Amino acid sequence: MAVTRHLAAVAAGLGLLGTALPAAAAPVPDGPGRGFLPAYVGAPATPRPLPGRPVPANPHQGPVGTSSMHADSYASDTYPFAGPLGRRPEVRSEAKGGGLLPGLCSTVTFARRTGLIVAQCTQGQNFTLRLIDPRTLKDLAALPLPPRPSTVRAVVTGDLDKVLTDTSGGAYYYLDPQDRAVLADSAFHVRRFAHEKGPGGAWRFKVTDDWDLSKRLPSDCATWTNPSPKGECDPITAVGPDWGGLIWWITRNGRIGTIDPRTGTVRDTRLRGEAIQNSFAAAEDGVSVVSDHALYRMRAAADGTPSVVWRRAYDRGSARKPGQIDQGSGTTPTFFGDGLVAITDNADDRMNVLVHRRGDGKLVCEVPVFGHGESATDNSLIGYGNSLFVENNYGYRNFFELPPGGSSVDGVSRVDVTPNGCRTVWTSKERSPSTVAKASVANGLLYLYTKEPRRDLIDAWYLTAVDAHTGRTAFKVLTGTGKWFDNNWAPITLGPDGTAYVGVVGGLVAVRDRG
């Protein structure tokens, strides 16, 4: 009965009791107030490509811009193709939940051979791998994934933050060059999934490889029959390939390992006393990982064991800020420019953008961003050429705690690396509470998912395009209103056909030009 009461409390807190999502073929439902809002603000943008060298393609990952949450192995969060220009834009959405529970698509990738979307989505406590038609957003196949232990802990304790700060379960996956999704699930398995048509012509997922790490990692995790285990539970949070073909994986409690897909050999090490919440970046000369204490460059030894090339501690501040999911850097490392890697720290007064040399870890420059006492981000920096783009998430924790009409503190900045150090080129007043923002190299636009505070308490969500050169807002497209359109840390993803996709609490939204 205690578990039942907690489940009811969580559901009631989410505003879900007595509210069922439409069936799978329906759009995400709007909240109140849509008729009082402009559907479009601004004017179509004129393309101005970003300067810089193209992001190199990892030979063991799908094409740049199509194969992971952060767009590529460098975690640049940029796309070589154009996003929407705001020319008569249309908005389409598809609900991905069921019953009383929401369904948010955390990561969207694109299969080269079939042209279909492969996405990892949630449906209440369950995760699913979905195959989606990119035009209609209809599901063509869905494969259930194991639920996360943090869901059990959230229900038993009544603390929703336990599940909303858990980055494990499969969101940080990637597509390989054969369009197979390589994903680490909550059962401590790393699996490779192909998609194909079955004998009857229906699409399906097929497991082609399965590496069981449950005997290697602490897996005394909460279950419905044992909600308070005594041992350690350390789930895998992210997987990705290095340039030599090893599959790297990391865990919440600082374990880092590799799998040789040819032999199945597993090797690992541990950053003791440190936690890892974000993903990692891989380049030709190694892998970069950030813990809640330090930035690392790592390389696999001859037997595949991850080894530390260098470690650089940063200012982790004195506490977790509202706008971050732990006390530490909220960024996945970003490779950019001429052998550079960048993160942010968690300094108490003002967060700093930190730029290091990839080769030896030397600090190239640092610059504080945003206002005093109101500076935090939990999203990867965008990096291209000599420029970085950073958004302010201060004040946002999760969609449950964001009050009606509320938002985060404003601020999106461009920081350039120059021979004289870092300098802030511009700062926009747009408010992008929690999205993984993206940039189009082809048209020079930065895409945000914004929400302005409103006294009438309407929750109005917009896909917003900002000129990456000047910081001026080009246009805004209303996607929807209400809690179902909150993206709750999910990214914007640009598709090869110019569509911008946003995972929202209710499902998946697509914005594309009609003219």
Q: Reply yes or no on whether the pLDDT at 434 is more than 90.
A: yes
Angle between helical axes of 2-13 and 149-157 (0-180°, round to 10): 100
pLDDT in tens, 214-242: 999 999 998 888 888 999 999 999 999 99
Average pLDDT over residues 268-297: 97
Residue type, 481: T
CATH of domain 2-435+444-512: 2.130.10.10
Average pLDDT taken over every residue of the chain: 92
Q: Is pLDDT at 24 greater than 60 in this prediction?
A: no
> Going by C-beta distance under 8 Å and a sequence separation of 6 or more, which residues neighbour residue 189?
210, 211, 212, 213, 214
What's the start-to-end Cα distance of the chain, in Å?
56
C-alpha–C-alpha distance, residues 243 and 310, integer Å: 19
> In DSSP terms, which residues pair with 299 in a beta bridge?
307
pLDDT exceeds cutoff 50 at 258:
yes
Q: Rg for the chain (alpha carbons), in Å?
A: 21
Amino acid occupying residue 503:
G
Cα–Cα separations (whole angstroms), residue 278 to 330, 371, 402: 7, 24, 22
Q: What's the CA gap between 330 and 278, in Å, rounded?
A: 7
Q: What pLDDT does residue 175 have?
A: 98
Q: Round to whole Å and give the CA distance between 387 and 510.
A: 27
Report which residue type is found at 238.
A
Q: What integer is the mean pLDDT of 351-355?
A: 98
pLDDT in tens, 37-47: 999 999 999 99
* Predicted local confidence at residue 157, as pLDDT: 79
Q: What is the pLDDT of residues 499-511, one digit of tens each?
A: 999 999 999 999 9
Side by side, the strands of the sheet bearing 174-175 are 174-175, 181-184, 189-197, 203-212
Asked if 423 and 365 count as a contact pair (C-beta separation under 8 A), the reply is no
Q: What is the pLDDT of residue 169?
A: 83
Identify the pLDDT of residue 101: 61
4 has a pLDDT exceeding 60: no
Under 8 Å between Cβ of 117 and 134: yes
Q: Report the pLDDT averaged over residues 153-179.
A: 84
Cα(378)–Cα(401) distance, integer angstroms: 16
d(C-alpha 10, C-alpha 502), whole Å:
25
Q: How far apart are CA 223 and CA 149, in angstroms?
A: 6
* Closest by Cα among 167, 190, 317, 181 to 266: 190
Order of all β-strands in the sheet with 421-428: 382-384, 387-391, 412-418, 421-428
pLDDT tens-digit series, residues 92-140:
999 997 655 678 999 999 999 999 999 999 876 678 999 999 999 999 9
What's the whole-number mean pLDDT along residues 204-219? 96
- Is the pLDDT at 73 greater than 60? The verdict is yes
- Whether pLDDT at 166 is above 70: yes
- What's the pLDDT at 124? 64
Q: What pLDDT is attached to residue 97?
A: 77
Q: What is the pLDDT of residue 108?
A: 97
DSSP letter (8 states) at residue 231: S
Q: What's the rounded mean pLDDT across residues 273-300?
A: 97
The full set of domain ranges for the chain reads 2-435+444-512
Confidence of residue 375 (pLDDT cuts 50, 70, 90): very high
Higher-confidence residue: 151 or 271? 271
Least confident of 18-32, 202-216, 266-280, 343-357: 18-32
